[in-house]
Amino acid sequence: AADIPCSAYRSSWGNPRIEWKFQKGSSLVLFYYAGELTEPYKNRVQFSPTTIHINTVTRQDTGKYICEVVGDGSQIAKSEVNLIVQGAPAPEPRSLLVP
């Protein structure tokens, strides 16, 4: 599991709007917006204003997590976390020598 902090969050901003994006290479996925987690994150991510918690982390989750916070007075804050997931390397196939 992984906890990714949203260091951009400001509790003094009243009721800020929070969006989470995941960037991997040139693709950008908006996975938390309008108060909702999107598929396929819905089942494996817990959201809180200051942190997201990813239950089962795989190598697919390696990338940049961007938290964007928009306050009532249109203040904007942004924080980024690079997550690198190192999975166990797959065993190499052995060639079997048949006598």
Please state whether 40 falls in left (phi above 0), alpha (psi between -120 and 50) or beta.
alpha
The whole-number pLDDT of residue 47 equals 96
63 with 24: CB under 8 angstroms?
Answer: yes
Domains in the chain (CATH in brackets) are 2-83 (2.60.40.10)
Report residue 89's pLDDT band, with 50, 70 and 90 as the boundaries: low
Range with lowest mean pLDDT among 30-44, 46-60, 61-75, 84-98: 84-98
Query: To 10 degrees, the CA torsion angle through 46, 61, 38, 51?
Result: 30
Residue 31, phi then psi, degrees to nearest 5: -110, -5
pTM score > 0.85 for this model?
no
| pLDDT tens, position by position, 13-56 | 988 999 999 999 999 999 999 999 998 899 999 999 999 999 98
What's the number of CA atoms in the CB half-sphere (13 Å) around residue 63?
A: 17
